[in-house]
Structure 1
Amino acid sequence: MNEIPEAGGVRGAANPFINGEDDAGGWASPVPPGHPAAALLTGHAVRTRCAAVTDHVAAGASELFTWHPERIPAVADYVAATIRQRYPDLNVPYHSRWRHFESGGPGEKLDRWQILCERGGLSGEADREERARIGIDLVIPSVLLDAGAGPDWRYRDPASDLSLTRSEGLGVASFDLFARGGFSAQPGQPLRSDAERLMRIDASSIATAFQVAQHNPLVGLDGRARLLRRLGEVAQATPAVFGSPARLGNLFDYLKAHASSGQIEAGFVLTTLLVALGPVWPGRVSLDGVSLGDCWHHPACTDGLVPFHKLTQWLTYSLLEPLEDAGLTVTGLEVLTGLPEYRNGGLLFDFELMVPRDPGFTAVAHTVDEPVIVEWRALTVTGLDLVAASVREALGLSAESFPLARVLEGGTWAAGRRIAAKRRPGGPPPFAINSDGTVF
C-alpha cells in the first residue's frame, strides 16, 4: 500500500516527504525518503528544468526551436486585452475545472455547483467541510477526464440544451455523471467518489455518459476509463490520505490535518497529489523504479529529465476553491507553474515566441514524447511566467493580487483559444498532438 508522507517537521511545508510512519500506519511509500524521484515531484522542479531548456534554446544550441523573447510584449498586450474584455472589473477567478462547470452558452454562466448543493441541502455554514469533500469528489475524476476530446466530439447539455465541445463539454459531462451517482458506491448517497465504484468503471460507462457514438467520437476513451479504474485502485491502497473505505473527498481531512492555523501551502498540496496519485499515471519514464508521470527526456538537463505534471497542477489549481470554501487558506501559489498544453502553448507558438526550425513541423501530428514537443512545452512554461509579469505590469496589478492562476484564466488560456479561432477555421491548435487521454 502507498504511504503518503507528512510534512517534514513543519505542517504545510512545501516538500511533504516523511521520515517514518504516517499516523494511519506503516504503508510502503511509492516515493521513499531520499529517493531521487522526490526532487522531480515539485513545482520548483518544473520551473527550473523548463528554464534550463529555455536557456539551451536561447543560446542557439537547439536544433528544434529558436527563441524570441522580444515578442513577449505583443503577447502580453493581447492577453491583457483579452482579460479586460472578459473581466472588465479585473475580478478574475482562478483557472480551474470549476470554470467549465459553469458553461451555459456564449457569455452565460450556469452555476451547476450551487444548484447541486441546494438540492442536496448542503448550502449552510455547517456544511462547509462536507461540501469541500464533495467538491473534491467531483473535481478529481473530472480533471482526469479532461484530456483533449478531439475536434468531432460534442455533449448535448440537458440543462441548457446546448451542444458543448472541448473542455466545457468534458466538464459538464463529468459533472452530470457525478451528480447522477456515477462515482458513488453508497446507495442513497450519489454525491461522492468511492474507490470501490471507480475500480469498476469501464469504457462503455464513459461512452454512455459522454454520449459517444460513431458520429460523436471521443479521443482516448479507453485511456480515460483506465485512468479512473487506476484512480480507484490507488485510492484504495492509500488509506493514509483517502481513508478506509476509500473516498476521494477524504483528501480534505488529510490536508486539513496538515494545515497550520488554517493555512496550507500550494506546494504541499501539489506534492501530496504527485505522490498520492503518481501511480495512477501510465508508466513512461521511471527513475529507480518510480514512474515520473508527466516527465520526459531532454538533453538540456543534466540528468535528461524535464517534468511538467500538467494534469496534477491543473488538479491543484482546481482544489483551491473547495479548500478555501471550507475555510483553509492556500498560500504560496507562486510555486505552481503555467500549464503547458495546446491553448497556452498554442498562444505562444502563434505569436512566434518559439519558432520551429523545421518548416514542416505543423504539417504532421506529433507524439507527446517527441523531443520537439517536450521542448515546446518547456518553452511554454518559461514563456507563461514572462508573459504573466508583463500582463500584471500592463494591468497595474501585483503578483500577490493577480497570481498566475488568474493570469491563466483571464488570460492566456482564453487568448490561446481566441487567436486560434482567428487564424484557423474552427479554432484548432496550430499543430496536432496524438493523445491517449492521459496528458493532453
Structure 2
Amino acid sequence: MTPTPSTAETIAYLKSLPAVRERAELVYAKAREGQLKHFDVDFKKLDDVAKFVVLLIKRDYDAADIPNIPPHTRLRHFEVGQKDRIKQLCESWKGRVDTLETVRRLVDLIVVSVLLDAGAGDKWTFEVKPDNAQKVSRAYSRSEGLALATLNMFKEGRFSSDIHRSHQVDAEGLCNLTLESLKEGFQVDDNKNPLLGLEGRWDLLRRLGKALKAHPEYFESSENNAPLRPGNMVDVLFKEGSDRPRRKDKYVVRTESLFKVVIDGFAEIWPPSRTAISGVSLGDVWPCDALQQPNAAPGTTEHFVPFHKLSQWMTYSIMEPLETMLNIEWEHANLLTGLPEYRNGGLLVDLEFMTLKPKEEERGLINYKHNALKPGQPAVEVVPTFEPSDPVIIEWRAMTVATLDRIAVEVRKQLGLPNLTLAQVLQGGTWNAGREIASVSRPNTKGPPIAILSDGTLF
C-alpha cells in the first residue's frame, strides 16, 4: 500500500529526530499534571539526581578533564580494562588501507556491534584469552562483553563473505551467517553460559544483510563488484561535506543526514510486530496511553511516541570516527536526545524520582514470578518485569528522554560548564550513575529496578 501524502508526512515526522523530544515533552507535561497512567513522579527529587550525577563525575574525572569527557558512544565499551583496542585495530591496518577505508571498517564494526548490544542477561560472559599484554584470561559481561565478542568475531571475518577481506561486514556475509557461528562467537553454552535473545540477534543480523541489499544508494561501493557494506555510508556523508562550504577547514555534515541513512537504510531490521502505518514500519515507535485522547478517531497517531534509541545510539557512535579521522563537523548535533534505556531510566527509579504505581508494581511482580519459573532464569533480586511493548515501559522511556534533558541542564549549571554536551553528560554521568546504583542496590544481578524481557531486538 502506498501511503497518501498526509500519511507520508506523518511517517516522516515520527521517524525524525525532533519528534523524539517533542513527544517525550508531551508525556513530561502529563507527569507535571499528575496524569501519568503508570508512575508517580516526585519532581523535588530531580535536583538530588543531578547532584548524584555531578558527584560521580567529580569523583571519576579531574576538574581539568571534565570538559574533555568523551562522548557516549559504542566505542567506549571497547576500552574496557583501560585498553584502547580500536587504536590497536587501526594500527594493524596502517600502510595497507587509507583513512577513508579505515573509517569504513570502523563503521562496519560499529553497526554490527550496536545491533548486538541488547541485554545479555545476568549469567552470560565473554572470556578474553591471554596475550602478550594480558597474561591471564578475563571474563567480561553486559555491554563490554558483547562489544569484545563482536570485535573478536569481526577480526575473525565471521561477518565477511570475502576471505581476503575478513575485516569488513557485508550483505552476503550477514545473510550467510549461521546461528552456530554466532553462538560460537559469543561463547554461548545453553547451560553454563546462556545469552538472552541469541536467535533474535541472529535474525537481526540477517535482516541487516537484506537491508544493505535494499538500499544500494547508501551502501554500494564505487568499486566494481565490491560488496554492499554499512561502512560505504561514509562516502555518502563525506560527499555532502565536500559539496558544502567548509567551516574553519572542517567538512560540515548535517546530523540529520547521518540519522536518515541509519533510520531509512536499516529500516528492514525491525521485527514485523513493530508499529507500522500503511505497511511502513516505524521501528522504535510505540503507542503511549498517557497521550491517548478519549474518543480519538481510528488511526490517529497523536499518542505515538518515537524513541529510535538504537538508531540514535548508532548515530552517536558513527559520528565519532568521522569527526576525529575525517575532520567532519556535525551540524545540528543537539537534535539527538538522551537514550531511553535501562541504565538512564533505572537511575530515575532507584533515586525515587519515578515510582511505579502500586497496581503496576503488583502486575510486574506477577510477571517476574512467571518468568522466574522458566528454565535458566535466576530467582534472585525480585523486580517488576514487563514486556518491551508494555505501556509501563513506554511511559518510563518517554519520561527518561525528557528528564535527561533537565538533568543535563542542572549538571552544566552545577559544574559551571555550559558547553558540556548531552553525549558527555550521558557518558560521564547518567549512564555510569545508573549502573553504579544498580550494582549497589542489586549486587547479585546488577540489573535495573524494572526488568525488560529481552528478545534481542530492544536495547
Q: Which of the residues 350, 360, 363 maps onto 2:362? A: 360
Structure 1 portions without partners, runs of 5+? 1-27
Q: Which moved more, 1:254-263 or 1:314-323?
A: 254-263
Q: Which of the residues 116, 134, 137 maps onto 2:108? A: 137
User: 2:171·2:212 contact (CA, 8 Å) conserved in 1?
Assistant: yes
SS in 1 for 2:169: coil
Matched residue, 1:120 = 93
Shift of the 178–33 alpha-carbon distance from structure 1 to 2, 3 Å rule, reads farther
User: 2:364·2:386 contact (CA, 8 Å) conserved in 1?
Assistant: no
Match runs of 1:221-370 below 5 Å: 221-243=198-220, 245-259=227-241, 260=244, 261=246, 262-283=251-272, 284-299=274-289, 300=291, 303-324=302-323, 325-358=325-358, 359-360=361-362, 363=365, 364=368, 365-370=385-390
How far residue 252 of structure 1 moved from its aligned partner, in angstroms, is: 0.2
**Corresponding letter in the other structure for 1:315:** M
Deviations 1:389-419 (A, max 9, x none): 1011111111xx3111110000100000111
How far residue 169 of structure 1 moved from its aligned partner, in angstroms, is: 0.1
User: 1:267·1:336 contact (CA, 8 Å) conserved in 2?
Assistant: no
Matched residue, 1:424 = 442
User: 2:93·2:102 contact (CA, 8 Å) conserved in 1?
Assistant: no
**Cα distance in structure 1, aligned partners of 2:37 and 2:228:** 48
**Cα distance in structure 2, aligned partners of 1:82 and 1:368:** 30
How far residue 61 of structure 1 moved from its aligned partner, in angstroms, is: 1.8
Matched residue, 1:413 = 431
Matched residue, 1:10 = none
How far residue 32 of structure 1 moved from its aligned partner, in angstroms, is: 11
Matched residue, 1:4 = none
**Cα distance in structure 2, aligned partners of 1:212 and 1:144:** 18
**Corresponding letter in the other structure for 1:404:** L
SS in 2 for 1:258: helix
Deviations 1:301-342 (A, max 9, x none): 662211111111100110121111122112222100111111
Matched residue, 2:372 = none
SS in 2 for 1:63: coil
How far residue 35 of structure 1 moved from its aligned partner, in angstroms, is: 4.0
**Cα distance in structure 1, aligned partners of 2:45 and 2:254:** 33
Structure 2 portions without partners, runs of 5+? 222-226, 293-300, 369-384
Q: TM-score, normalised by structure 1?
A: 0.88
How far residue 86 of structure 1 moved from its aligned partner, in angstroms, is: 2.1
User: 2:288·2:305 contact (CA, 8 Å) conserved in 1?
Assistant: yes
Match runs of 1:107-256 below 5 Å: 109-121=82-94, 127-158=98-129, 160=134, 161-213=137-189, 214-243=191-220, 245-256=227-238
**Cα distance in structure 2, aligned partners of 1:99 and 1:82:** 17
**Corresponding letter in the other structure for 1:247:** R
Deviations 1:75-133 (A, max 9, x none): 111111111222222121010110111112xxxx111111112222259xx83211110
**Cα distance in structure 1, aligned partners of 2:89 and 2:451:** 37
Match runs of 1:374-413 below 5 Å: 374-398=394-418, 401-413=419-431
**Cα distance in structure 1, aligned partners of 2:60 and 2:75:** 16
Q: Which moved more, 1:258-267 or 1:209-218?
A: 258-267
* Greater gyration radius: 2
**Corresponding letter in the other structure for 2:205:** L
How far residue 33 of structure 1 moved from its aligned partner, in angstroms, is: 9.8
Q: Which moved more, 1:364-373 or 1:163-172?
A: 364-373
**Corresponding letter in the other structure for 1:112:** R
**Corresponding letter in the other structure for 2:237:** L
**Corresponding letter in the other structure for 1:218:** L
SS in 1 for 2:355: strand
**Cα distance in structure 1, aligned partners of 2:148 and 2:420:** 27
How far residue 272 of structure 1 moved from its aligned partner, in angstroms, is: 2.3
**Corresponding letter in the other structure for 1:425:** P
**Cα distance in structure 2, aligned partners of 1:134 and 1:86:** 31
Q: Which moved more, 1:217-226 or 1:244-253?
A: 244-253
**Corresponding letter in the other structure for 1:183:** F
Deviations 1:24-66 (A, max 9, x none): xxxx99x999442110112211111111111112212223112
Q: Which of the residues 371, 385, 390 maps onto 2:391? A: 371
Greater share of helix: 2
Q: Does 1:87 align with 2:61?
A: yes
Q: Does 1:437 align with 2:456?
A: yes
User: 1:285·1:295 contact (CA, 8 Å) conserved in 2?
Assistant: yes
Deviations 1:222-263 (A, max 9, x none): 000011001011101211000053111101001112223311
**Cα distance in structure 1, aligned partners of 2:8 and 2:240:** 21
How far residue 423 of structure 1 moved from its aligned partner, in angstroms, is: 1.2
Runs of 4+ in structure 1 over 6 Å off: none
**Cα distance in structure 2, aligned partners of 1:189 and 1:215:** 34
Shift of the 433–145 alpha-carbon distance from structure 1 to 2, 3 Å rule, reads same
User: 1:131·1:322 contact (CA, 8 Å) conserved in 2?
Assistant: no
**Corresponding letter in the other structure for 2:229:** R
Deviations 1:264-284 (A, max 9, x none): 122221122111111211121
Shift of the 388–110 alpha-carbon distance from structure 1 to 2, 3 Å rule, reads same
**Corresponding letter in the other structure for 2:49:** V
Deviations 1:149-205 (A, max 9, x none): 000000001254211000000001001111111211222212111111011113211
